C-alpha cells in the first residue's frame, strides 16, 4: 500500500466535507482535524476544543485574511461567484448566502452563517420580516452574518 499524498485541494477539499471516511480521505492527507459536531453553529472558543476539531471558516478562501495563521487548518468553503444583486442584496437565506460571494461597503460578508443565538425572538429578524425592504445598517450587518429561524 502506498503512503497517502497531500490533497491538491487542501483546506477547500469538498470530498473531505462530504465523506470524511471515504476512499479519497484514506488516500490523501488533509491539513485539518476531524470536524466539530456543531460545524458552523459552534460557539465554543476554548483552546482544547479548537485543538481537537476543525471548524468551518465563515469566509471564502479567496478573502480569508487568516489563511496563514489561526485559520490555516480550518475547512474553507470557497464561493468565488459574486452575488448578481451586488451590495443591494437582501436575500438572507442560507442557500443563497452559501451560493454567492457578498460584500457590504466593499468588505467581504460571511458565506457560512451560524444560527442566531436569539432564535425566533431576534429583533432584527422580526423587523426585517415586517418591512422586507427597509433594513437599517445595524440590522443588515446582523442579518448578513447570522442564519435565522425559517430560512
Residue 39 DSSP symbol: G
The alpha carbons of the chain give a radius of gyration, in whole angstroms, of 17
113 with 139, same domain: the answer is yes
Give the pLDDT score at 74.
Answer: 65
Say whether pLDDT at 66 is over 60.
no
Q: Can you give the residue range of the structural domain that contains 113?
A: 86-143
32 with 93, same domain: the answer is no
Q: What is the per-residue DSSP string for 103-150?
A: EETTEE--SS-PBPTTGGG-HHHHHHHHHSS---HHHHHHHTTSB-TT
Give the pLDDT score at 141.
Answer: 84
Among 31, 55, 76, the domain boundary falls at 76
pTM: predicted TM-score of the whole model, two decimal places: 0.56
Would you state the torsion angle of the CA atoms of residues 67, 39, 85, 101, taken in this order, to the nearest 10 degrees?
20
Number of independent structural domains in the chain: 2
Evaluate whether residue 149 is within a structural domain: no
Among 48, 76, 104, the domain boundary falls at 76
Evaluate whether residue 124 is within a structural domain: yes
Q: Which tens digits make up the pLDDT trace of 84-135?
A: 998 888 888 777 877 788 888 877 777 777 788 888 889 988 888 887 767 7
Among 28, 48, 76, the domain boundary falls at 76
99 CB-side CA count, 13 A: 9
55 with 97, same domain: the answer is no
Overall average pLDDT of the 43-63 stretch:
74
Provide the pLDDT confidence category of residue 2 given band limits of 50, 70 and 90.
low
Measured distance CA(33)–CA(50) in Å, rounded: 10
Say whether pLDDT at 73 is over 60.
no
Give the pLDDT score at 84.
Answer: 92
Flag the least confident range among 38-47, 55-64, 128-137: 55-64
Q: Phi and psi (nearest 5°) for 35?
A: -70, 145
Q: Which tens digits make up the pLDDT trace of 17-40?
A: 666 677 887 788 877 777 777 766
- Displacement of CA 29 from its chain's centroid (Å): 22
Amino acid at each position: 500500500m502506498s503512503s497517502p499524498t497531500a490533497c491538491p485541494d487542501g483546506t477547500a477539499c469538498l470530498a473531505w466535507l462530504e465523506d470524511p471516511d471515504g476512499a479519497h480521505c484514506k488516500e490523501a492527507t488533509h491539513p485539518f482535524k476531524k470536524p466539530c459536531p456543531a460545524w458552523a453553529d459552534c460557539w465554543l472558543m476554548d483552546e482544547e476544543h479548537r485543538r481537537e476539531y476543525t471548524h468551518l471558516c465563515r469566509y471564502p478562501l479567496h478573502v480569508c485574511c487568516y489563511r496563514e495563521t489561526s485559520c490555516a487548518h480550518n475547512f474553507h468553503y470557497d464561493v468565488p461567484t459574486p452575488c448578481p444583486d451586488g451590495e443591494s442584496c437582501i436575500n438572507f437565506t442560507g442557500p443563497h448566502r452559501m451560493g454567492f460571494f457578498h460584500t457590504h461597503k466593499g468588505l467581504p460578508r460571511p458565506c457560512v452563517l451560524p444560527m442566531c443565538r436569539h432564535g425566533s425572538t431576534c429583533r432584527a429578524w422580526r423587523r426585517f420580516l415586517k418591512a422586507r425592504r427597509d433594513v437599517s445598517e445595524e440590522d443588515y450587518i446582523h442579518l448578513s452574518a447570522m442564519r435565522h429561524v425559517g430560512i
